Chains A and B, each alone.
Chain A
C-alpha cells in the first residue's frame, strides 16, 4: 500500500507540498499582526479600512462558496447582509446588547433569508436562479417599509448602541480586534471545509448533478446546505456593519452592492479561499485612495466582470497559481494528453476487499418515452459474484435500462426493480447509490478542479460519512474519513495509476479517464457495479488491464453488470449474457448459448446477414485464452 498522502485540493499541489507545513503557523501569525496594528500606530482611518475590508471579504467569501465552488450564481448577498444588520441592530437596541449573542442572531436571520433563496433555487437553475436572488435584493426596501417603525422604515434604523461584550463596552480598537478575530475564524473554517471531502463534493455537484447523485451525494440537500452556509458570513458582516456606525439604512443594500461583490470575487478569484480577501482589499482600498473614483466605479466593476469572462482564469489567485506552476515547472510537455502506459503495469489480478454483492432482479420492466416504448417487459436476474453482460445493437435500450437501474429514469407502472432484495423501483439516484451501487459513464464525467486521486476518492463520500461540522472542526469521524481516503492510494497503485494521481483529472487522455472512473468503483467497494461501454476507446493494453480489474471485482463478490457492444470481449469475460433488441430481452443465458442464438445473429447483423456468411464466433486461430 502506498504512503498516506496529503489529499490536496484546488490549490496548486507543488507549492503546498513544499511549504505546507509552515502555512498554519504563518496564517495565525498574520492574523495576530493585523490584530495588534492599532496598538502599534495604525490610525483611525486605516483601522476603519481594515474593518471595511473584513466586512466585504466575508460577504464575497459567501459568494465564493455558493458560486465558485457550488456553481450557483446567487446574487442575493445584500439581502442576507441586510437581514444580519437589521436583526442585530434591532436586538441590540431593544433587547440585549451582547456582540456574540447578536452575531448568533444575525447569522440566524441571514441563514433564513439564504434558505428562502435556496429553496426555489433547487428547482431552478441558471438565469432564473440568479434573477430570483437578485430580485430578493430589490425587496429589501419594500419589506423594511412594511415592517416600518420598529426598524426605522425608510429613514433607517438609528440609535444602535456601541457594541458590548459581557457587559463591557468595546471601544474602537476592541471592536476592531473582534472583527479581525471572527473574520479570521471564518476563513480558517472555510479552508477546512474546502479541503475536506465536502469541498470536493461541491465541485462534483457543480460539474454534474448526474455524477453527484450516482456517487450518493444528494444534490438537493447538498445545495440547500451550501445556501445556508454561504449566508453565514454575510450575516456576520451585517452584524458588524450595524455596530460600525450605529446606523442602518435600507439603501445600503442595493443591487449595485451585489454587482460590487461579484466584481470583487472575480477580481480576487472565485474558486479560492483567499480570493475574496484579495478582491475585497482592492475593492475597498483602491477607491478610497483615488479621489474621483466614485464616478467611475460602475464602469470599472463592469469592465472587471466582462474581463473575467474573456481573460481571467480565477482572478488574481489564478494568476498566482499560474506563476507558481511556471516557477516549479513539471517536466512533461503540455500538449500531450496525460496517460499511463499500461504495458509497464504488472498484470496480476489484485485481491480486493470482499463485498456482499447485491442481487439485481428486474421484473416486467417497461419504460415509455412519449411515443417510444424503450423497454418492453424486461425480466432478468444478475447474481453476485458474476459478470452479467448486457448487449444489443444501438437503440436496443441497453443504456436506458442501465440508467433506469441507476435511478435516472423511473420505470412505468407494473415494473419492479429489486436490489439486494430491497424494492428500489423508482428510487432517486442518490438513494440507489447509497445502497452500494456504483457506475461508470459512456463518456467519463470528470469534474473540473479535481486531481485524479480526488476523483477516485469521491467514491468514499458516501462510504464513510463525516458531517460538515466534523470536517470543519477536524473531529474524529473526519479523521476516520481521512484514513479511508488514504486507501485510495492503494487502489490507484494496484491499477497502475499512481503516476498520475496528482494531475488534474481533466488533463488525462480518454483511456486513462476510463480507468480512473473504474478505480473509483473499486475504491468505493460497490456491491452492484454498472459499467457502461467501459471498453470503448481503449487500446490493447488498457483492455487487458480492464479485463483484469473486472474479474477482480467479480471475485470480490460484487455483482458486475457490463453493457458492451463488442461481443467477443463479452464472450471472454461474461458468466451470463442478456441480449436486448428494440427494448425486449431476446436471449438470456451463457455466452456460448447466446452466440449461436439465431435471433441474436439476426438482430446484430440485421437484414443481409446472409450476404457474407458472417458469424459472431471467435476466429479459428484460438489464440485467445
Chain B
C-alpha cells in the first residue's frame, strides 16, 4: 500500500473560542479522490480551512506526503504542494485573468520561462481563459470564474487539491464541465479532497467518502462498497425530530 498523499489525524479546530471540528481523521492515497459530505454547518469547510492552514489546528496532525505540516503557516503549505480552491468561485476580480494565473504561481520559485510555460498550459486546458486573458476576472461568467479558480490553484503544481463546493451556484451543464475537468486532472495523477453538498457530483468522482455531522465523521467508506448510497443517505439526512 502506498503512503497516503494526505493524512489527517484527530483534527480539532474551529474559529477562536468556537469549536467546530472534533476529532476528524482520514487518509487519501495519491491519485485518489475523497469526498467529504454533510449538511451546512457540519464543519466541512472548517476542516478544509484547517488543512490549508487558514485556521489553526487545536489538536491533531496533518501529514502531506508523510511530512508534518500541522505547524506550517498557510502561505508556506502551498509551496509544499497543497492548494485550496475555496467555495464561491473566489478569484481576484479586480485583476486580469492572466494576473490571476501569475498570482497562482507566487508560492513557487520558477523562472520567467517556466511561468510562461505554465500559463500556456493553463490556457490549453481552459481555452476560454486564453480568450479573456487581458480581461478583469470580474467580467467572467460564474462557470468561467470557477475554471479560473482551479487553473490558478494548479499553477503551483500541487500534489493535493482541496476543492470546496466547485459546483456551487452553477448551471447543470457547467457543472458537467467542471466535473470532467476534475476527472481529467485526477487521471493525470492529482489527489483531490472534495467537499460537496451535491451528492451526485461527489459520488461520480470519489473513490472514498466521508460524511460529517456536527464536526465529526459519522460515516466513512468506499463508493464501491455495497449499500453505500443508503448508508450515506441515512447519515446525511437522519435527524431526531421533535
Any A CB within 8 A of the CB of B17: yes
Q: Is A294 an interface residue (CB 8 A)?
A: no
Asked whether A568 lies within 8 Å of B237 as measured between CB atoms, the reply is: yes
**A residues less than 8 Å from B19 (CB atoms):** 337, 509
Per-position 1/0 for A367-382, Cβ under 8 A of B: 0001110000000000
- B16-60, CB under 8 A of A: which get 1 and which 0? 011110000000000000000001110000000000000000000
Interface residues on B, range: 35 or more
A614: chain B residues at CB < 8 Å are 199-200, 229-230, 232-233
Q: Is the CB of A609 within 8 A of B239?
A: no
A512 CB to closest chain B CB, in angstroms?
11
Residues B241 and A566 in contact, CB atoms below 8 Å apart = no
Of all chain A residues, the one with the shortest Cβ separation from B227 is: A612
The 8 Å CB contact of B240, one of A393, A537, A544, is: A544
A569 on the interface (CB 8 Å rule)? yes
Residue of A nearest to B142 (CB): A372
Q: Is residue A344 contacting chain B, with contact meaning CB distance below 8 A?
A: no
Given that A395-B168, A395-B170 are contacting pairs, would A611 and B203 also be in contact in the complex, using a CB cutoff of 8 Å?
yes
Inter-subunit contact B239/A606 (CB<8 Å): no
B200 lies within 8 A of A547 (CB): no
Query: Which residue on B lies nearest to A513, using beta carbons?
Result: B18
A611 CB contacts on chain B under 8 angstroms:
200, 203-204, 229
Q: Distance (Å) between the CB of B58 and the closest chain A CB?
A: 11
Kindly provide the distance from the CB of B39 to the nearest chain A CB, expressed in whole angstroms: 5
User: B214 touches which one: A507, A509, A539, A615 (CB < 8 A)?
Assistant: A539
B182 within 8 A of A: no
9 A-B residue contacts at CB 8 Å? A337-B17, A536-B40, A566-B239, A572-B241, A604-B198, A607-B176, A608-B203, A612-B230, A624-B241
| A6 contacts the other chain (CB 8 A) | no
Query: Is the CB–CB distance between A612 and B169 below 8 Å?
Result: no
Q: B113: CB under 8 A from chain A? A: no
Q: Does A625 contact B (CB under 8 A)?
A: yes
In the assembled complex, the CB of A567 is this many whole angstroms from the nearest CB of chain B, namely 6
- Does A582 sit within 8 A of B, measured CB to CB? yes
User: Given the complex, which residues of A lie within 8 Å of B199, measured CB to CB?
Assistant: 604-606, 609, 612, 614
Interface-central residue, A372, A394, A536, A573, by most chain B CB under 10 Å: A394
Instruction: Tell me, rounded to whole Å, the shortest Cβ–Cβ distance linking A27 to chain B.
Output: 36
- Decide if B239 touches A537 in the complex (CB within 8 Å): no
Of B167, B172, B234, which contacts A619 at CB under 8 A?
B234
Q: Decide yes or no whether B201 CB sits under 8 A from chain A.
A: yes
Interface size range on A against B: 35 or more
* Least CB separation from A395: chain B residue: B169
Q: Which residues of B contact A507 (CB under 8 A)?
A: 17
| B1 interface contact, C-beta 8 A | no
Q: Give min CB distance, B214 to chain A, whole Å.
A: 6
- B239 adjacent to A568 (CB under 8 Å): yes
Tell me the smallest distance from the CB of A597 to a CB of chain B, in Å. 16
A5 CB-CB contact with B under 8 Å: no
State in angstroms the CA–CA spacing of A490 and B138 once bound together. 51
Interface string of A234-255 (1 = CB under 8 A from B): 0000000000000000000000
Nearest CB in chain B: distance from A443 CB, A: 10
Question: A498 to chain B: closest CB distance in Å?
Answer: 21
| A545 CA to B241 CA, complexed, in Å | 10
Residues of A in contact with B (beta carbons under 8 Å apart): 337, 347, 370-372, 393-396, 507, 509-510, 533, 535-537, 539-540, 543-548, 551, 565-569, 572-573, 582, 602, 604-616, 618-619, 624-625
Q: Does B185 contact A (CB under 8 A)?
A: no
Name the interface residues of B55-114: CB closer than 8 Å to any CB of A.
87
Within 8 A of A (CB), among B188-235: 197-201, 203-204, 214, 223, 228-230, 232-234
Complex Cα–Cα for A395 and B170 (A)? 8
| B200 nearest CB across to chain A (Å) | 3
Top 8 nearest A-B pairs (CB, nearest first) are: A395-B169, A536-B41, A612-B229, A547-B242, A608-B200, A608-B204, A606-B198, A537-B41
Whole-angstrom CA separation of A565 from B201 in the bound complex: 17
Across the interface, do B239 and A612 meet the contact criterion of CB distance under 8 Å?
no
Residues of A within 8 Å of B232, CB to CB, are 612, 614
Closest Cβ neighbor of B203 among chain A residues? A611
Question: Which chain B residues border A347 with CB–CB below 8 Å?
Answer: 242
Q: In the complex, are the beta carbons of A394 and B169 less than 8 A apart?
A: yes
With both chains docked as a complex, state the minimum distance between the C-beta of A357 and any C-beta of chain B, in angstroms: 21
- Chain A contacts for B186, CB-based, 8 A: none
Contact at B233–A615, with CB atoms within 8 Å? yes
A337 and B18 contact, CB distance less than 8 A:
yes
Contacts of A606 in B (CB 8 A): 167, 172, 175, 198-201
Q: Are B214 and A616 in contact (CB under 8 A)?
A: no
Bound: A566/B197 CA distance, A = 11
CB contacts (< 8 Å) of A393 on chain B: these are: 168, 197-198
Residues of B within 8 A of A371 (CB): 139, 141
Question: What is the CA–CA distance of A8 and B240 in the complex, to the nearest angstrom?
Answer: 38
Q: Is there contact, CB below 8 Å, between B165 and A370?
A: no
Q: A394-B169, A535-B41, A604-B198 are in contact. List 13 more A-B contacts (CB 8 A).
A: A347-B242, A393-B197, A394-B168, A509-B19, A566-B237, A567-B237, A568-B238, A568-B239, A572-B241, A582-B169, A608-B203, A609-B200, A611-B200
List B contacts of A625 (CB < 8 A).
241
A612 in contact with B175 (CB, 8 Å):
no
Q: Check B239–A565 contact: CB distance below 8 A.
A: no
A543-B142 contact, Cβ under 8 Å, with A606-B172, A611-B204, A612-B229: no
From 130 to 157 in chain B, residues with beta carbon under 8 angstroms from any chain A beta carbon are 138-139, 141-142
Residue in B168, B175, B238, B240 with the greatest tally of chain A CB atoms within 10 Å: B240
The answer for the CA separation of A522 and B87 in the assembled complex, in Å, is: 34
A539–B17 Cα distance when bound, in Å, is 18
Contact between A394 and B201, CB atoms less than 8 A apart: no
Residue of B whose beta carbon sits closest to that of A511:
B214
Pick from B17, B139, B230, B242: contact of A544, CB under 8 Å: B242
Whether B168 lies near A582 (C-beta < 8 A) is no
Q: Contact at B171–A582, with CB atoms within 8 Å?
A: yes
Report chain A residues within 8 Å CB of B172.
602, 606-607
Please name the residue on chain B nearest to A335 by beta carbon.
B17
Q: Is the CB of B241 within 8 A of A613?
A: no
- Chain A residues whose C-beta falls within 8 Å of the C-beta of B115 in the assembled complex: none
Given the known interface contacts A536-B39, A537-B214, the answer about A394 and B239 at a Cβ–Cβ threshold of 8 Å is no
Please, which residue of chain B has its CB at the minimum distance from the CB of A610? B200
Complex: how many Å from CA A568 to CA B237?
6
A565:B39 contact, CB within 8 angstroms? yes
Whether A619 lies near B238 (C-beta < 8 A) is yes
Bound complex: CA A357 to CA B169 (Å): 33
- Beyond A394-B165, A582-B171, is A510–B237 a contact (Cβ under 8 Å)? no
A336 to chain B, nearest CB (A): 10
Minimum C-beta distance from A419 to chain B (A): 27
Give A535's nearest chain B residue, CB to CB: B41
* Residue among A507, A604, A607, A610 with most chain B CB within 10 A: A607
